[in-house]
C-alpha cells in the first residue's frame, strides 16, 4: 500500500495524539509507510509546526538507540480559560448545594468530554514534573485521575476507604477527616504503587484537606514523593487548611445552605498558563 | 493566519479524534481556516479515506441545518486481537489469583493506555446502538466505563454500594450477590440518569452476574432499557449465570486456588469484529 503525504499526516497525527508522552521510534513510521526517514521527518515537522501554532503542545525528537518522536500535549491560556468558565457555569446551575456545604459533582465527573479537557489542563500544568503515577481517592476522583493519566501516559492508583478482597494485600492508615473530625481509614493495594514513586494527587473536591492529608500520610508508607496536588473544586469555607501547596480549577465560597446560595470563582490553576 | 492543506489536515484530524461521535459543523473549519467549503470537504475526504484504509473508523457527513462531519471510531479485527492477547498475557502473570477465585485487576484498570484501547474496542461493538449513557458499578468499572463513554461521547453513570451525601437524592435497591448469596445494596443518584434512557452496562469482572443483575433491577427503577452488557473478565466457574446476553473480552476458567492455577481464554467480544 502506498501512502501520500496527506495520508501519512492523518495517520501520524492520530497515532501521536493517541500515544501522548510516549516515544515512538521513527522507524515505526518508516516501516509502515515504506518511506525514507527524511520524508517522515518532514511529516513530523509539519505536525509539530501546526501543534505549536495552535498551542496544542509540541513534538519532541530524541536521538540515540531509544530515539524517536513523542507528542507532548499543551494547552493555550484561551482554552484553559474556556474550560474554567464552562465549569463555573455548570456549577452555578440550580440545586447543586448539598447538606454540609458539599456540591453535587457526579454529573460533571461523569461527563467524559469535559473531564478529558480538564484532565488535559491539569496534565499541562504538571507535564514538566518527573512523575511515576497519578494517585486519587475512590470514587469521584477516578474519572479525572484517569484523564490526567491518559495524557501523561502514567498509571492511575486508586485509594479506597474500604478494604476489598479484590485489592490483594494492602497498606492502610487512619486519618482524621478535616471537616467532620471523624476517624476514617484509607487503603491502598501494595501492588499498585512501586516504592519511591513520584506522584501527583488528583481529586474532585477539597475542603479542609483532611482526605488529601491522609493520602500524603499513606504515600509516606510507600516512600513516595508527592510532586503536586490538584483538585477540581476547593472550598474556601475553611479557617485552617491542612494542605498548602495545590492547584484548583475553581473555588467555592460564601456558602449559604439555608438560601441555597454560594459563589464560584476561578482557582489558581489558570495562573499556570501563559 | 494562513494554513496549508497539510496543516489543516493535522488540525482537523486531531480535532475530529478529540471529538468522536460528535457532529462538527463544516462552517467551524471553514471559519477557522478561511477556506472555501469545497477545500474543507476535500480535506475531510482525505481524512476519511485514510481512516477507512487503516480500519480506524470513518467520517460521517450529514447535511441540513445541524449538518456537519463526525468521526465514528472503529477497530480492525487485528487490533482487537492484539488487545485481547495483551490482556491474556497480563492476566497470566504470577500471583494474580485472589482468595475466592477473584483476579487482581487493579493494575490493569489503572493502566489508561490499555484501558483506553479496551474502551475503544467495546465502543466499536456497540457503536450502532442508540445509547444515552454508560452505566457501571464503583469502583473498578469506572475507568473502563469512562474510556467507553469518551469514545461514544456519552455520559458515565456510576452506581455505588454505599450512600453518600455527595450523591444528592438517590434510588436504591437490594440484591443478592450471585457468589456469596449475601444481600447487598446499590445506590444511584437520581440526577445522573434521565428516565427512559438506553444504557450499556460496563464492568471489570462478572462471576454469577449478581451485581449486573442488581444493576438491571436498578435500571428498571429509572425506566431505562439495557441495550448491552460488556465485561473485561467473565469467570466460567458458575453453574447458572444470571445474565445471558453479554460480551466479555476474556474468560477465566479452571481456577485452582490451592495451586494458584487458572486458565484465561478469549471471550466472545472478538467475534464481533471482521
Question: B102: domain CATH number?
Answer: 3.40.50.2020
| Nearest-by-Cβ selection for B143 from A102, A104, A146 | A146
| Nearest-by-Cβ selection for A165 from B98, B112, B192 | B98
Report the pLDDT value the prediction gives residue A239, as an integer from 0 to 100: 64
Best mutation target, A6, A137, A155, A177, to test chain B (most B CBs within 10 A): A6
Q: Is A134 found in the same domain as A216?
A: yes
Last residue within a domain, chosen from A54, A73, A92: A73
Nearest CA in chain A to B104: A166
Residue for grid cell 505536525: A47
Do A9 and B13 lie within an 8 Å CB cutoff? Answer: yes
Q: How far is B103 from chain A (nearest CA, A)?
A: 7
Total domains in the fold of chain A: 2
Beta bridge partners of B102: B98
Do B100 and A17 lie within an 8 Å CB cutoff? Answer: no
Q: How far is A96 from chain B (nearest CA, A)?
A: 9
Is the preceding peptide bond at A139 cis, omega within 30 degrees of 0? yes
Which is more confidently placed, A259 or B142? B142
If you count them, how many residues does chain B have? Answer: 274
Helix (H, G, I), strand (E, B) or coil at B182: coil
How confident is the model over B214-262, as pLDDT tens digits?
A: 999 999 999 999 999 999 999 987 666 778 899 999 999 999 988 889 9
B244's CB contacts (< 8 A; 6+ apart) are none
Beta bridge partners of B60: B70
On the question of pLDDT at B34 being above 90, the answer is yes
Q: Is A144 found in the same domain as A21?
A: no
Contact A161, A137 (CB under 8 A): yes
Do B46 and A6 lie within an 8 Å CB cutoff? Answer: yes
| Nearest-by-Cβ selection for B191 from A53, A104, A116 | A104
Report the pLDDT value the prediction gives residue B206, as an integer from 0 to 100: 93
Contact A204, A141 (CB under 8 A): yes
Q: Is B185 found in the same domain as B202?
A: yes
Share of chain B above pLDDT 90, in %: 81
Q: Is A180 found in the same domain as A104?
A: yes
The cell numbers describing B75, all together, are: 477497530
| Nearest-by-Cβ selection for A156 from B22, B99, B110 | B110
Q: Is A116 found in the same domain as A31?
A: no
- B268: nearest Cα among B253, B252, B248: B248
Last residue within a domain, chosen from B50, B73, B96: B73
Do B7 and A53 lie within an 8 Å CB cutoff? Answer: yes
Q: Is A188 found in the same domain as A135?
A: yes
Do A7 and B191 lie within an 8 Å CB cutoff? Answer: no
d(CA B60, CA A36): 33
Do A139 and B158 lie within an 8 Å CB cutoff? Answer: yes
Q: Give the strand pairing for A133-137 and A198-206.
A: parallel
Q: How far is B42 from chain A (nearest CA, A)?
A: 11
Q: Is B116 found in the same domain as B60?
A: no
Q: Is B48 found in the same domain as B31?
A: yes
d(CA A200, CA B272): 38
Do B156 and A191 lie within an 8 Å CB cutoff? Answer: no
pTM of the model: 0.96
Contact A70, A22 (CB under 8 A): yes
How confident is the model over B78-125, as pLDDT tens digits?
A: 999 999 999 999 999 878 999 888 899 999 999 999 999 999 999 999
Q: Is B111 found in the same domain as B63?
A: no
Is the preceding peptide bond at B139 cis, omega within 30 degrees of 0? yes
Ramachandran angles phi, psi of B260, nearest 5°: 55, 40
Best mutation target, B120, B146, B152, B203, to test chain A (most A CBs within 10 A): B146
On the question of pLDDT at B143 being above 80, the answer is yes
Kindly state the average pLDDT of the residues B263-270. Answer: 96
Q: Structural domain of residue A150, as residue ranges?
A: 77-272
On the question of pLDDT at B164 being above 90, the answer is no
d(CA A58, CA A168): 40
Last residue within a domain, chosen from B23, B50, B73: B73
Question: Which residues of chain A make contact with B54, given a CB cutoff of 8 A?
Answer: 11
Nearest CA in chain A to B147: A112
Q: Is A66 found in the same domain as A137?
A: no
Q: How far is B20 from chain A (nearest CA, A)?
A: 10
Best mutation target, B6, B74, B145, B164, to test chain A (most A CBs within 10 A): B6
Q: How far is B232 from chain A (nearest CA, A)?
A: 15
Q: Is A189 found in the same domain as A150?
A: yes
A176-A180-A182 Cα angle (round to 5): 40
Question: Which residues of chain A make contact with B143, given a CB cutoff of 8 A?
Answer: 142-143, 146, 156
How confident is the model over A93-123, as pLDDT tens digits?
A: 878 999 888 899 999 999 999 999 999 999 9
What is chain A's alpha carbon radius of gyration, rounded to the nearest angstrom?
21
Report the pLDDT value the prediction gives residue A154, as an integer from 0 to 100: 98
Q: Residue B33 maps to which CATH number?
A: 1.10.10.10
What is chain B's alpha carbon radius of gyration, rounded to the nearest angstrom?
21
Best mutation target, B2, B112, B132, B147, to test chain A (most A CBs within 10 A): B112
Q: How confident is the model at residue B61 (pLDDT cuts 50, 70, 90)?
A: very high
| Nearest-by-Cβ selection for B50 from A11, A103, A109 | A11
d(CA A160, CA A185): 8
How confident is the model over A240-253, as pLDDT tens digits?
A: 677 889 999 999 99
- A230: nearest Cα among A162, A151, A170, A160: A151
Report the pLDDT value the prediction gives residue A240, as an integer from 0 to 100: 67
Do A157 and B14 lie within an 8 Å CB cutoff? Answer: no
Q: Across all residues in chain B, what is the average pLDDT?
A: 94
Q: How far is A160 from chain B (nearest CA, A)?
A: 9
Nearest CA in chain A to B111: A155
| Nearest-by-Cβ selection for A10 from B50, B107, B143 | B50
d(CA A45, CA A24): 15
Report the pLDDT value the prediction gives residue B157, as an integer from 0 to 100: 98
Residue ranges in chain A whose pLDDT is less than 50: none
Q: Is A130 found in the same domain as A56?
A: no
Amino acid at each position: 500500500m502506498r501512502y501520500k503525504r496527506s495520508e501519512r499526516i492523518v495517520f501520524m497525527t492520530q497515532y501521536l495524539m493517541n500515544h501522548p508522552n510516549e516515544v515512538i521510534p521513527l522507524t515505526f513510521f518508516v516501516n509502515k509507510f515504506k518511506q525514507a526517514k527524511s520524508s517522515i521527518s518532514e511529516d513530523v515537522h509539519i505536525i509539530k509546526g501546526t501543534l505549536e501554532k495552535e498551542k496544542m503542545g509540541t513534538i519532541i525528537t530524541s536521538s540515540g538507540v531509544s530515539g524517536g518522536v513523542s507528542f507532548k500535549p499543551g494547552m493555550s491560556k484561551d482554552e484553559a480559560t474556556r474550560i474554567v468558565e464552562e465549569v463555573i457555569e455548570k456549577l452555578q446551575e440550580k440545586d447543586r448545594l448539598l447538606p454540609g456545604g458539599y456540591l453535587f459533582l457526579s454529573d460533571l465527573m461523569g461527563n467524559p468530554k469535559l473531564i478529558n479537557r480538564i484532565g488535559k489542563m491539569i496534565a499541562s500544568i504538571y507535564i514538566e514534573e518527573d512523575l511515576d503515577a497519578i494517585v486519587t481517592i475512590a470514587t469521584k476522583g477516578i474519572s479525572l485521575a484517569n484523564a490526567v493519566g491518559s495524557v501523561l501516559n502514567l498509571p492511575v492508583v486508586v485509594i479506597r476507604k474500604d478494604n476489598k478482597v479484590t485489592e490483594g494485600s494492602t497498606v492502610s492508615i487512619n486519618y482524621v477527616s478535616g471537616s467532620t473530625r471523624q476517624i476514617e481509614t484509607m487503603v491502598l493495594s501494595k501492588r499498585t504503587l512501586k516504592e519511591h514513586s513520584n506522584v501527583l494527587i488528583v481529586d474532585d473536591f477539597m475542603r479542609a484537606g483532611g482526605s488529601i492529608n491522609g493520602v500524603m500520610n499513606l504515600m509516606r508508607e510507600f516512600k513516595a514523593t508527592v510532586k503536586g496536588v490538584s483538585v477540581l473544586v476547593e472550598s474556601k469555607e475553611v479557617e485552617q487548611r491542612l494542605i498548602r501547596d495545590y492547584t484548583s480549577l475553581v473555588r467555592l465560597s460564601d456558602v449559604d445552605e439555608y438560601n441555597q446560595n454560594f459563589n464560584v470563582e476561578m482557582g489558581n490553576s489558570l495562573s499556570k498558563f501563559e
